Amino acid sequence: MLNISIKNTNMDLTLDQQNYVKSKMQNAQKYIGDGDASLFYEVEMDTSAHSGDIYRAEARMQIGHDSFYAEAKGSTIESAMDQVKDKFFRELRRSKTKKSNAFIKGAQRIKKMLRGE
């Protein structure tokens, strides 16, 4: 089960924006499997900047000993949310690929040992 906590700083998120975050980040469940995890999502409006990238979004999640983090800035709140989602899932996929490649390499070594090579 994935628990999503949303924190907003210097702004108010509408219910639609909160649902948008939850729907986009709920896909992380397939990388977690059957275990439980908490995802901390923060959205902030930079009050020192008056134009350009004034919205910042970040996502943090810890699964066992692995922790994942992504941060992005954008000129609109939705663009920052989309960028952080893309970066976050890229990091999750990279971790999953590394683990599966390590498993395959280990299995190949055992197979070679059993053959006597």
Contact 102, 115 (CB under 8 A): no
**pLDDT score for 106:** 87
pTM of the model: 0.77
| Tens-digit pLDDT profile for residues 98-108 | 778 888 888 88
Domain ranges, residue 48: 2-115
Q: What are phi and psi of 116, to 5 degrees?
A: 90, 25
Count of the separate structural domains present in the chain: 1
Contact 58, 91 (CB under 8 A): no
Give the 3-state secondary structure of 16-56. Answer: HHHHHHHHHHHHHHHHHCCCCEEEEEEEEECCCCCCCCCEE
**pLDDT score for 73:** 93
Per-residue pLDDT for 83 more than 90? yes
Burial letters for 3-32: b for 16+ Cβ neighbours within 10 Å, e otherwise?
Answer: ebeeebeeeeeeeebeebbeebbeebeebb
**pLDDT score for 84:** 95
Per-residue pLDDT for 24 more than 80? yes
| Tens-digit pLDDT profile for residues 56-80 | 999 999 887 888 999 999 999 999 9
Provide the CATH number for the domain around residue 59. 3.30.160.100
Contact 37, 2 (CB under 8 A): yes
